[in-house]
Amino acid sequence: MLGLLTAAGLSPAARAQSSDAAALRTELERTYLNWLTAMRRSDVTAFAAHTSRYRQMCLRNEVVSLRQPWPSAVFRSVIQAPDLSRLTFVDATAVGDTARAVYFGRVDFALDIDVPVTPENPLIVRFLKEGGVWKFDWIQYVNLGPNEDARRDARSGGRQWLEAEEFRLTGRYPEIPKACREPYQIAALSIRALGCRVTVDVNRGTHVETVENNHGGRVITGGLQKGQNVVTITPVNLTSGSQAPDLEVSIVTRPETYRPSIKLWSWKPSHPAAQWQAKYDASFFVKSRASAQ
């Protein structure tokens, strides 16, 4: 009765908007549940049907870059997708071909029965539209850490934090990457870019990564190939005055066992930031695994 009385006080436009939001939430949650069921059953056909083509190719390239079998390796992750029914719904929004469903609560990734469930944090489930149908894309987990003020605001339904750039919807379907080759050497970038922004391109667009005023690095898509490997570095100085940025780009082996990684290649600018070139082209030759010059 309270719900009916509340709805009765809304304008026709507001009721229509509320109805649209409810319908979107229902559609997104149905899509997520279908995807989650496919993951738990290791159902390759259902996984392909409910996952965006963009995400499938991203996952395929990640798996192949680690020389793991595709698509079976996708179902072997120790991290399990969370059950949304245990979380508090916050928001469902769609912009163009992108959508998100936002939740808050104790997100359980089922990492280990002896590990306590995480403190209350936001969870964002992303979707992409293909042929008029929403497909699951990825999960964005927001760890608020010790920030109790932000946690209190999110718990009470506050949505201002969703206006941050990292949570916005672009409205555009992303360009699907090309399928990469299996690597000769599994490797990862290690980037230190303090007081600057750097974009690193490995092997002419096979792997592109940007780090700004931070440490970063992930497994290189397609890894390294035997022979010549090309690296393009585009740095941007973000400092002013006497403060100097700290920039270093390295490529290290990503061992298939627990052996220590080996630094294969490293680059630093040879002159002050004020004299940086717009772009640097470099290359190195992989003679054998864990050996480069």
3-state secondary structure the chain: CHHHHHHHCCCHHHHHHHHHHHHHHHHHHHHHHHHHHHHHHCCHHHHHHHECHHHHHHHHHHHHHCCCCCCHHHHHCCCCCCCHHHCEEEEEEEECCEEEEEEEEECCCCCCCCCCCCCEEEEEEEEEEECCEEEEEEEEECCCCCCHHHHHHHHCCCCHHHHCHHHCCCCCCCCCCCCCCCCCECEEEEEEEEEEEEEEEECCCCEEEEEEEEEECCECCCCECCEEEEEEEEEEECCCCCCCCEEEEEEEECCCCCCCCCEEEEECCCCCHHHCCCCEEEEEEEEECCEEC
Break the chain into its structural domains and give their ranges. Answer: 11-167, 187-292
Specify the CATH number of the domain 11-167. 3.10.450
| Full-model pTM | 0.85
From first to last of its 293 residues, the chain has per-residue pLDDT tens of 233 333 334 455 445 566 788 999 999 999 999 999 999 999 999 999 999 999 999 999 999 999 999 999 999 987 889 999 999 999 999 999 999 999 999 998 877 656 666 789 999 999 999 999 999 999 999 998 888 988 998 888 888 888 888 999 999 999 999 999 999 999 999 999 999 999 999 999 999 999 999 999 999 999 999 999 999 999 999 998 678 899 999 999 876 655 778 899 999 999 999 899 999 999 999 987 766 65
